[in-house]
Chain A
Amino acid sequence: MKRCPMTFEILLEYCEGALKATTKERVRRHLETGCVYCERQLAWIQRVLSAFQRENPPIPAHVLAPARTLYLDRYVRPESSSPLVQWARLLFDSRTQYTPAFARGEQEPSRHQIYRTDGYEIEIWQEMLPQGECYLIGQVLPRRDHANVIPKEIILSNSAGHTLRITPVASEFHLPSVPAGHYQVQVSLPGVDIRLSEVAVGL
């Protein structure tokens, strides 16, 4: 608990040389007592005041341009150039896994699929809705670090030319009512488009 009579404001003005002579002398004598609180406050004030007096080095604008260009080339594809297309393969489908329920002829109300490319895994969960449509939930996980990514766009299209598009705002994306059928799914990420061919929805 602080028992020191000195306030932050007094110490600040002491550092800036803004105190009257009598007050300055009072602070100086107090500091000579070795007050730990004041020492810490003064050290902080002096450190910050020094840091305010920053040097503004004369860095020409062109100096950092090569690195920015390299960064854009490596991590951000320009909108005008074609993104890399990767076709994902089906790694897991809960419908094809044997369970006793299937032996009894029961249909699962939900389905879980995992697709994989060199860099990513895409998981899709389907749940049947009463009207024969499906609620789809998906997410994209980079295979190296499994940090969630937010796709730029998800597009479902079928052979009849019907298209569903969403722009996710989170790493988990939802498609609330997808009619049953076969779809090609396109997942757009920065620099890469992942395609899933023949995704069976509700079938």
Chain B
Amino acid sequence: MSLPEVSSACRSSSRYARKPDHDLIAACLSGDVTAWDTLIDRYKGLVYMLARRMGLSDADASDVLQEVSLLLVSHLSDLRDVTKLTPWLAITTKREAWRRLRQQEAAITIETIEYDAADEENGLKSKAAGLPTPEESLLALEDQALVRQALSSLPDRCRNLLTLLYCEEPPCSYAETASRLGIAMNSMGPNRLRCLQHLKKTLDAIGF
């Protein structure tokens, strides 16, 4: 049975997929380029989307991501003792994004986002009604990174099943998923439940 095609966002390709940030950083410091690629892949979406949600265009968000990734290389040895990389990435991304916004003097950003230097550790405050605050966005992005990490570490069968049901655009139906995975329709429910419970166990282990 050949594996169904799954979206690249959910595919696991690294032996470091189940490793926490601390272990990844240690491996990066030892010169393991696979660890570096895994670390970047884990958080590139978070950095990019955080920059976008601060009001930057796609191109500017890409520039911020590039700058943050360069800063990460430069500061790797300073980060060897951190347990989670998210706080450093969030602060660094916000600084770079804010610097770019100031340069651009984006009117809508100035009106809708209040930057309090004293509260830099807690993030920006958004006045735009109905939109998630940067802190809420950061939490959502972090959840996405953790779920992606946990998903990539599941056994193939569970990873493929959950990917088809929840990650594909548009999501696959029970019938299509059963067909692609070669599972009986009436076993889809129990399989889904078992895989979600497996995912829950993994998420609990990595601090979700």
Contacts and interface: CB of A to CB of B under 8 A. Distances in A.
Nearest to B52: A57
Contact of B66 (A57, A67, A149): A67
Interface in B1-44: 7, 9, 26, 28-31, 33, 36-37, 40, 44
B58 A58 contact: yes
A12 B148 CA distance: 19
A145 B144 CA distance: 33
Contacts of B28: 71, 75
A47 B196 CA distance: 13
B69 A48 contact: no
A55 interface: yes
B44 A64 contact: yes
B45 A54 contact: yes
Contacts of A64: 40, 44, 65-66, 69
Main secondary structure of the interface of B (DSSP, over half): helix
Nearest to A145: B80
A71 B45 contact: no
Given A52-B167, A67-B69, A47 B33 contact: no
Nearest to B41: A64
Contacts of B26: 147
Contacts of B44: 57, 59, 64
Given A57-B48, A75-B29, A67 B9 contact: no
B137 to A, nearest CB: 11
Q: How large is the interface on B (under 10, 10 to 19, 20 to 34, 35 or more residues)?
A: 35 or more
Contacts of B196: 8, 12, 48
A12 B203 CA distance: 17
Contact of B166 (A49, A190, A191): A49
A73 to B, nearest CB: 9
A41 to B, nearest CB: 10
Contacts of B45: 54-57, 59
B58 A75 contact: no
Nearest to A53: B166
Interface string B164-185: 0011000000000000000000
B124 interface: no
Contacts of A48: 143, 147, 196, 199-200, 203
A56 B9 contact: yes
B65 A54 contact: no
B140 A149 contact: no
Given A51-B146, A52-B147, 18 more contacts: A8-B197, A44-B200, A47-B143, A55-B49, A56-B7, A57-B49, A57-B52, A57-B61, A58-B58, A63-B62, A63-B69, A66-B69, A67-B69, A67-B73, A68-B36, A70-B70, A71-B28, A149-B30
12 contacts: A47-B208, A50-B143, A51-B146, A54-B144, A55-B144, A56-B45, A57-B44, A59-B62, A63-B65, A68-B36, A76-B31, A191-B31
Interface of B: 7, 9, 26, 28-31, 33, 36-37, 40, 44-45, 48-49, 52, 58, 61-62, 65-66, 69-70, 72-74, 76, 80, 140, 143-144, 146-148, 162, 166-167, 189, 193, 196-197, 199-200, 203, 208
